Amino acid sequence: MTNQNPQKPFSNLFPAKLLSTCRTTFNQPLSPIILSIAETAQLLQKQENSLPKFLTSTELQQLFSYSHMVRKNEFLCGRISAKLALDSFFTRDSTQKAPLNQISISNNSSGRPFVQFSPEYNIKFTGDLSISHSKQYGCALVSPKRCGIDIQTPTKTLQKVKAKYCADQEENILAAFLPDYSPVEQLCLLWTAKEAIKKALSHLRMIGFQTIVLTDCALHTNATFLFTFTILDHDMPRTVNTISTLFNGYGLSLTTTEHGG
């Protein structure tokens, strides 16, 4: 769908069918956004004066503190994705709306995104925000509960470091349930699923990949999988599910959890 608001001229690439699947699976009003980095990068390439419509002064300073254009584009796409996801999340209540440049997103000590609205709007955000980017895409997810989203392009590096995040029994599960996918695609889906879970649980503390163990996989809908993980930590939820799929060749996973803290 294309957002028609002139302040938000970007196309949300998140598939409508996948959104329906995620909302049904997690039983809550999720607001996910996927944007093309090439599209948001035009704001920098054209050196347009529209950047202040999207970013706060602090965010602008952070953007231009990066020396490499790739990092600038990743940051910009991630921030715009997050603000559009927040805008979509609050669309149901017109009293809870604010211009994008009145929404401040920073990171706390654990790296989690932290959302604040300008005081004049008197908006308190009690949900959760997760952000990710990889090569061509940036994405964000907003949920009433703890959440995580991750997108990743399949690379040979995933195979080189496989021992750090994929045990033999997990590799066997992937091979059995995803026989039509290449080994690197299988690993990419597993990586994004575990990354999404790590983000969703990072309000408690950062946990390692080997603490998150794939125990089951089921075909949810066409080319979309429900992964079930056991968390080997008594302070964490016992099981966490992800919705995982390939999006334009990229691994993409989302999760939510009611585990507070």
In the chain the domains, ranked by start, together with CATH numbers, are 16-144 (3.90.470.20), 151-257 (no CATH)
User: Tens digits of per-residue pLDDT, 69-110?
Assistant: 999 999 999 999 999 999 999 876 556 688 999 999 998 877
Q: Average pLDDT for residues 58-71, to the nearest whole number? A: 95
With beta carbons less than 8 A apart as the criterion, state whether 112 and 73 touch.
no
Q: What is the pLDDT of residue 108?
A: 82
With beta carbons less than 8 A apart as the criterion, state whether 225 and 174 touch.
no
With beta carbons less than 8 A apart as the criterion, state whether 141 and 85 touch.
yes
Q: What is the pLDDT of residue 2?
A: 38
Q: What is the pLDDT of residue 95?
A: 60
Q: What is the mean pLDDT of the chain?
A: 90
| Number of CB atoms found within 10 A of residue 261's CB | 9
- Identity of the amino acid at 118: S
- Residue 136's alpha-carbon distances to 13, 52, 77, 219, 248, in angstroms, are 12, 23, 10, 27, 10
- Residue 229's alpha-carbon distances to 44, 94, 118, 185, 204, in angstroms, are 40, 38, 38, 18, 18
Say which residue, 256 or 204, is predicted with more confidence. Answer: 256
- Identity of the amino acid at 214: L
User: Tens digits of per-residue pLDDT, 161-184?
Assistant: 999 999 999 999 999 999 999 999
User: Tens digits of per-residue pLDDT, 212-261?
Assistant: 999 999 998 889 999 999 999 877 778 999 999 999 999 999 999 976 55
- Six-digit token string for 40: 């948001």
* pLDDT score of 142 more than 80: yes
CA distance 163 to 84: 37
Whole-prediction pTM: 0.93
- Identity of the amino acid at 172: N
Q: What does the DSSP 8-state code read for residue 236?
A: S
Q: What is the pLDDT of residue 3?
A: 40
User: Tens digits of per-residue pLDDT, 8-35?
Assistant: 579 999 999 999 999 999 999 999 999 9
Q: What is the pLDDT of residue 50?
A: 86
φ, ψ at 198 (rounded to 5°):
-60, -40
- Six-digit token string for 223: 């080319």
